[in-house]
Amino acid sequence: MSKRILKGRVVSHKMKKTAVVEVISLKTHPKYRKKIKSTKKYKAHHEDLVLNVGDEVTIEESRPISKDKHWAIKEIISSHKSVSVGEEIIN
């Protein structure tokens, strides 16, 4: 049986060796034929990867690592550099 591979975006990486990846899928309603966008969040394992919020990654199904984590980050497709915006003081 082949492992499932999904593409998504990192929305959080505050845990050790774990990132939360949001996967967006488009589904068509069976009766009305309208496209419906649905999102699902997966906890994915990573070993010493430098991740930022907004990075596009590929995740692959793996053995259960913890109660909620059974996906692993396979590769980083595009890196999103996080930019911190300073506060502006308006007089």
Q: Where are the domains of the chain?
A: 5-78
87 confidence band (pLDDT: 50, 70, 90): low
Fold of 5-78: OB fold (Dihydrolipoamide Acetyltransferase, E2P) (2.40.50)
Q: In the structure, what pLDDT confidence band is assigned to residue 31 with cuts at 50, 70 and 90?
A: very high
Q: Is the overall model pTM greater than 0.85, yes or no?
A: no
* Strand ranges for 1-91 from DSSP E: 5-15, 18-28, 35-45, 56-61, 69-78
Read off the tokens for 38.
């649905």
**Over the stretch 54-86, which tens digit does the pLDDT of each residue have?**
999 999 999 999 999 999 999 999 887 755 555
Contact 60, 45 (CB under 8 A): no
